[in-house]
Amino acid sequence: MSDLQPMPAAARLARVLDRFPALAVAVSGGVDSLTLASFAFAHGVPLSVIHAVSPAVPAEATARVRELAAAQGWDLTVTGSGEFEDPRYRDNPVDRCYFCKTNLYDRIAGLTDRPIASGANLDDLGDYRPGLIAATERRVVHPLIEAGMTKADVRALARELGLGAVAELPAQPCLASRVETGIAIDADDLAFVERAERRLSALTGGGTLRCRITHQGVAVELGEEAMGQAGAVDALMAQLCAGDGRAYAGSRAYRRGAMFVGAPTMGA
């Protein structure tokens, strides 16, 4: 048996980053990309941090990016992502994420000549992620994947970096992931989802929850920790939906990728 110890995740990531004289990190506001940007900045990589806003990006994610950028002194650019200008994205096919990332990375490429880095981690490779195809076509690099880092590794690194609540952020795919395949992506729907999830989070104390726009109406999916509050959730959602002229289809157990109809393996 070898006495050699596995290289820590931080050391593996540092080795990957040492290949790049500079990077442009696409930061969504989630734990993965924020941790990547924070580590790269601390490691001394010349860094551009780019955050794209759209109706599909929660306002709290943008606020989180701005707060961390100010605290650490990042060179931050906030830009429009452009996907709502693309009818292929708005039509919401099963590969909608491909068109989202196509627009995002093309927009970032117009702002910098540095290699573009995403915050994708090793766990993402097990999901249906057409956005990764767009990334490959545009030579986007994935340092966390190259370093063999899982979501758990990323959270552990975020704690090491002292990122506080960022390390514990629940998975939070873009708001468009709440819309069932084939229902056109609409900014008003996404605004309703954002409002509803904010109210639901306050009611349940957080955890996993999704407000879904389905062909049967608005549905709520709850993680195990919140299922005991389904009655209160249903009452609140019935009120919110009635006030917005929407049909409420009830609550149910959370299922990853429930809105992707026709995709092989999903995670949203």
Q: What is the DSSP string of 145-157?
A: HHTT--HHHHHHH
Token reading at 141 = 């690099």
Global pTM value: 0.91
Rounded percentage of the chain residues whose pLDDT exceeds 70: 94
Gap between the terminal Cα atoms of the chain: 41
- Strand-pair category, 217-222 with 23-26: unpaired
Token reading at 194 = 């954002």
Token reading at 256 = 């990853």
What is the predicted pLDDT for the residue at 147? 97
3-state DSSP helix/strand/coil % of the chain, to nearest 5: 50, 15, 35
Q: What is the set of active-site residues? A: 174
What is the predicted pLDDT for the residue at 266? 43
What is the predicted pLDDT for the residue at 5? 60
**SS3 category, 216:** coil
Q: Which of the four pLDDT bands, split at 50, 70 and 90, describes residue 265?
A: very low
Q: What is the pLDDT averaged over residues 184-195?
A: 97
Count of beta carbons in the 10 Å neighbourhood of residue 264: 9
> Under 8 Å CB-to-CB from 148, ≥6 apart: which residues?
9, 12, 122
At 213-254, the pLDDT tens digits run 999 999 999 998 889 999 999 999 999 999 999 999 999 999
At 88-124, the pLDDT tens digits run 999 999 999 999 999 999 999 999 999 999 999 999 9
Q: Given a cut of 50, is residue 264 above it in pLDDT?
A: no
DSSP state of 27: -
Q: Which of the four pLDDT bands, split at 50, 70 and 90, describes residue 259?
A: low
- 211, 197 in Cβ contact below 8 A? yes
What is the predicted pLDDT for the residue at 3? 53
Token reading at 18 = 């040492």
